[in-house]
Amino acid sequence: MVSGCFKPHEVSATKPKKMETKQTSFQRLSMSDLSNPSTLSEDLSISLAGSNIHIFTLPELKVITQNFASSNFLGEGGFGPVHKGFIDDKLRPGLKAQPVAVKFLDLDGSQGHREWLAEVIFLGQLRHPHLVKLIGYCCEEEHRVLVYEYMPRGSLENQLFRRYSVSLPWSARTKIALGAAKGLAFLHESEKPVIYRDFKASNILLDSDYTPKLSDFGLAKDGHLTSRSDVYSFGVVLLELLTGRRSVDKNRPQREQNLVEWARPLLNDPRKLSRIMDPRLEGQYSETGAQKAAALAYQCLSHRPKHRPSMSIVVSILDPLKDFEDIPIGPFVYTVPTENLKENVSKEGETRKGPDEE
């Protein structure tokens, strides 16, 4: 087992129709093929030959991230800290200039070397428009780093639940649901089926056009026996897209804290569906499209795995929904509550603040 922890400051200058795929031509390897840590770096480079995955050095990562500048820090999850970087076209031949996300494995975190290795193995060998692109990795001594394409809109979790963000329009939500479903269907229908096992809003990244891409394959496994667990997780995220609520929210009333338990009984009743739809949509969504999406979520969330649809069927149901237009209800006007009006009136020449601003 590899030990140690890579910290940025330590770097020195030294069925239905099959989904469209972009499968690599070589034989896919599995975790068991790379069980010897002492030969890991060499084994990876040989196994991923021809996959267009670059092996970066620590000095190169320092250049890419401007010495891991705090201004480039994007966040930190169970895997470790993530920095934004930029690859200059002069860095090395064959690498185009592009912004990237650089993720460092912190072995003191909730994920470890095995999860890092799974990420390299799966994203290094699988290509699809709805899987985040792995550009390269670093495997030097105890240091483990992954370099991805940069996704400017961050995660679906941030876009959907961030308090002060603009609400995602219905068209973006259906686009995200469909794209994420295509990504899962591709994994399930690969020559060696892959069970994602960690499908959630925080692992769905969005580009500038809200195209979703699945990330974080640390928990993924080869196999086909438990693919319906991914379908259930998809149903949870679809429900979050419909309601604008987190799957678990302890700040809500007791009976509403578990989203699935509260909302699922209402999904099959068109007369009650409006009660759970995200109020931030301001009614601007296709009623027919919402009903179809809700009925699909109900099926995905079945307590009996065999009753859940396959992801390819999910795709076939969601695909027509992208053509359902939002219902225009006119411009939205925010009115300051009367009791807050006086305290929000600014002095002449000063900027007016909203009721929720500090």
Q: Are 293 and 177 in contact (CB under 8 A)?
A: yes
Tell me if residue 206 falls in helix, strand or coil. Answer: strand
Structure tokens, 80: 């470790």
118 vs 102: CA distance, rounded Å? 17
Nearest partner of 236 among 168, 286, 299, 289, judged by Cα: 299
Q: For the chain, where are the alpha helices, taking DSSP H only? A: 40-47, 58-64, 113-125, 156-161, 170-188, 227-243, 259-263, 270-276, 287-300, 311-318, 338-344
- Active-site residue flag, 198: yes
| DSSP-derived secondary structure letter, 192 | S
Nearest to 149 by CA among 212, 102, 82, 80: 102
> Nearest-5° angle of CA 31, CA 315, CA 257?
80
Gap between the Cα atoms of 154 and 148, Å rounded = 13
Q: Are 1 and 37 in contact (CB under 8 A)?
A: yes
Check residue 141 and give left, alpha or beta (phi > 0: left; psi -120 to 50: alpha): left
Burial label for 317, CB within 10 Å (0-12, 13-18, 19+), is middle
User: Which member of 198, 216, 230, 278 is catalytic?
Assistant: 198
Active site residues: 198
